[in-house]
């Protein structure tokens, strides 16, 4: 089954404790991206990757890092999380036209 | 940068037709896409328009006018399960990033 998976689905952490949210897709898509979704603000792109070792900033990259060492994986790294990074995060991969989204990761930073 | 405008809420009755409009401003237009998101779920891809005109997929159709920087999603024969949020999104030719509108919450009433 074609899918995008994310882990963990839920995470509560404390300010400053580094964390990684993993994302994996099995559709051999070159393009992958990360979004955060906040009430009233819709989906905002954090980072995207056109292919292995090619990443670029989206609209809200501050406080986040990504890496793309393999085509299937695109982890999101928060080196020093802060409360304003409490949000719902989605990973997505894309074929021509549309994006396939993962199930989401709800992150709370205390 | 990019910006998109869509209504925040729309209400309609079962069996009716509803149109959700989206106007955009972008420095380099690559295409307009539409996504559906049910409460607690991930966005799912509905349609994509790169050229002017109407694209039909079952009960859903999407229209684009590049000269007017305008598009719409048309939902016919509304069903209760169509109650969800609908997002338009544009891709920038320069950055290849994707920018979403803030979403339209559709409520279908019996």
Going by C-alpha positions, the residue among A12, A13, A34, A30 that lies closest to residue A22 is A34
Name which of A41, A96, A99 is nearest B102 (Cβ-Cβ).
Answer: A41
Going by C-alpha positions, the residue among A63, A31, A38, A35 that lies closest to residue A47 is A35
- Are A43 and B44 a contacting pair at CB < 8 A? no
Per-residue pLDDT of chain B (110 residues; tens, 9 = 90+): 678 999 999 999 999 999 999 999 887 778 899 999 999 999 999 999 989 999 998 999 999 999 999 999 999 999 999 999 999 999 877 666 778 999 999 999 99
Q: CA-CA distance, A22 to A18, in Å (whole number)?
A: 13
- Are B98 and A33 a contacting pair at CB < 8 A? yes
Task: State the smallest CA–CA distance between residue B71 and chain A in angstroms.
Answer: 15
Coil, strand or helix: which one is A29?
coil
- The answer to whether A21 touches A89, Cβ cutoff 8 Å, is yes
> CA nearest A4 in B: which residue?
B42
Tokens 């090619």 sit at which residue? A54
């Amino acid at each position: 089954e074609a899918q995008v998976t994310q882990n963990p689905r839920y995470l509560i952490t404390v300010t400053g404790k580094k964390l990684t949210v993993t994302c994996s897709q099995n559709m051999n898509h070159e393009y992958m991206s990360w979004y955060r979704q906040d009430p009233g603000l819709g989906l905002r792109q954090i980072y995207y990757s056109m292919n292995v070792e090619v990443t670029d900033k989206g609209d809200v990259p501050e406080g986040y890092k990504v890496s793309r060492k393999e085509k299937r994986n695109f982890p999101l790294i928060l080196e020093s999380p802060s409360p304003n990074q409490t949000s719902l995060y989605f990973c997505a991969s894309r074929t021509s036209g549309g994006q396939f989204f993962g199930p989401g990761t709800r992150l709370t930073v205390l | 940068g990019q910006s998109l405008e869509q209504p925040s809420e729309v209400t309609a009755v079962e069996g009716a037709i509803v149109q959700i409009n989206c106007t955009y401003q972008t420095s380099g237009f690559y295409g307009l896409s539409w996504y559906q998101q049910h409460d607690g779920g991930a966005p799912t891809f509905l349609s994509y328009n790169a050229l002017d005109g109407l694209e039909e997929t079952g009960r859903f159709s999407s229209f684009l006018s590049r000269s007017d920087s305008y598009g719409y999603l048309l939902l016919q024969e509304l069903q209760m399960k169509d109650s969800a949020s609908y997002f338009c999104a544009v891709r920038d030719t320069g950055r290849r990033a994707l920018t979403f509108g803030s979403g339209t919450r559709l409520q279908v009433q019996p």
